[in-house]
Structure 1
Amino acid sequence: MQSLESDTTPTRQEKQHPGLKLALEIGPLLVFFFGNLRGEWLVQKFPALSALGGPLLVATGLFMAATVLSLVVSKIVFRHLPVMPFVSGIVVLIFGGLSIWLQDEVFIKMKPTIVNTLFGVTLLVGLALGKSLLGYVFNAAFQLTDEGWKKLTLRWGLFFLFLAVLNEVVWRNFSDAAWVNFKVWGTMPITIAFTLAQMPLIMKHSLEQPSEDGK
């Protein structure tokens, strides 16, 4: 299926517009942050938004719209939909829609928990069945030995579950503002730090790439 490819299989268009790709990935989160921060002001300027509910639900509605726009632009410009943002976007629409419909912010707060649990369980179950599923996502970025893929898959599976637990701790014990700040400014630095921490394993288990002349 050409429209749904791995996150690390860059198309020619993605190579030409890396800034746009980054903006499409983090843009919806920034819209969510701004919507929650200035929710009351937005309602004053655009009274129709009051139908969505409080500031967090206004932010949720804007988050959903920005997510759809991001996926549409990705499909048009880059000719494919990256797997993880696509799955996350579907969950955003389902849980965001439930939050607004039922006027219950719990659903959108649980979205990161559901997504990270889904990714984590999928990787770990696949590993238990003898499949290093992470290899299907990252094999365009680097080549590893079977042992390397197994170790990396295990680490990422556990990391996704860690993020799921961390999200539950934050939204259940802190204010809405603290949770939004964590979601926007906390999750990404943690993920980047974890990714960089995997470089020694990747270097250790990397396969040598054959030269173009086969030597």
Structure 2
Amino acid sequence: MAKRKISPWIKAALDWGPLVVFFIAFNRLKDGTYHIAGTDYSGFVVATALFIPMIAASTLVLWRLTGKLSAMQVATLVLVLIFGGLSVWLNDPTFFKMKPTIIYLLFAGILGAGLVRGKAWLQLVMEEALPMQHEGWMILTKRFVGLFLALAVANEIVWRTMSDTVWVDFKTFGLPIILVGFIMAQTKLFERYGIEKPGEDPAE
């Protein structure tokens, strides 16, 4: 399937829509217990059950619209299906709370394995949007490995020591803010190692 561009607003809605739905559902259902098919479920588990088909549908739509999915999107979907499914099946939110930890450790491990081989695999998923010299990609990849390891530790601390409400707020708002802040903090790196796109006028 050929790659196609879509509106940034549509992409943002597909990327963040399921998480917003989970956040709203959790806050509406968190104080209740829901009897479904002979079993009592917490609001957290019910919100998780809503989140799973939402992210599966949004990922499918994104693939149909763009003709591609990044390795990060595929890995996230698979882990949501596995750990979210376990939380619903076993009626235990612990598995879903562990999902971000597993995702960040997985990403850190993959990027770290590339660094050992002298390769910046982050470049494969970001080069089109951010042309940069190889040395710059190596530095950025090392920083992302450190970030992902730190986020994995942070997620473990939050879900193990704080309330469900705090963890949901951290997942919905804290993690995205940290990621955006981290990328913005790399401005000097982008300026130093950035490469002009073909046909781009440096005077513009």
Same fold (TM over 0.5): yes
Give the counterpart of 1:115 among 56, 80, 103.
Answer: 103
- Residue-by-residue CA offset, 1:117-175 (whole Å, 9 max, x unaligned): 10011111210111111111111112222211110110011111111111001001100
Report % sequence identity: 40
Give the counterpart of 1:31 among 21, 25, 41.
Answer: 21
Which amino acid in the other structure matches residue 23 of structure 1? A
- Residue-by-residue CA offset, 1:62-117 (whole Å, 9 max, x unaligned): 11011111012112222222332221111001001111111221100000000011
The 1:50–1:190 alpha-carbon spacing in structure 2 relative to 1, beyond 3 Å, is farther
- Contiguous gaps of at least 5 residues in structure 2: none
In the alignment, structure 1 residue 185 sits paired with structure 2 residue 178:
no
Q: What TM-score do the two structures reach when normalised by structure 2?
A: 0.89
Aligned equivalents of 1:49 and 1:96: distance in 2?
Answer: 19
1:92 maps to: 80
Q: CA RMSD in A?
A: 2.4
Aligned equivalents of 1:23 and 1:52: distance in 2?
Answer: 32
Q: Do 1:36 and 1:59's aligned partners in 2 also have CA atoms closer than 8 Å? A: yes
Which amino acid in the other structure matches residue 16 of structure 2? I
1:11 maps to: 4
In the alignment, structure 1 residue 201 sits paired with structure 2 residue 194:
no
SS of 1:81's partner is coil
Q: Do 1:144 and 1:206's aligned partners in 2 also have CA atoms closer than 8 Å? A: yes
Which amino acid in the other structure matches residue 59 of structure 1? A
Q: How many residues align?
A: 201
Which amino acid in the other structure matches residue 26 of structure 1? W
In the alignment, structure 1 residue 139 sits paired with structure 2 residue 103:
no
Q: What TM-score do the two structures reach when normalised by structure 1?
A: 0.85
In the alignment, structure 1 residue 53 sits paired with structure 2 residue 46:
no
1:7 maps to: none
Q: Do 1:28 and 1:66's aligned partners in 2 also have CA atoms closer than 8 Å? A: yes
Which structure has greater helix proportion? 1
Q: Do 1:52 and 1:58's aligned partners in 2 also have CA atoms closer than 8 Å? A: no
Which amino acid in the other structure matches residue 14 of structure 2? L
Aligned equivalents of 1:145 and 1:102: distance in 2?
Answer: 48
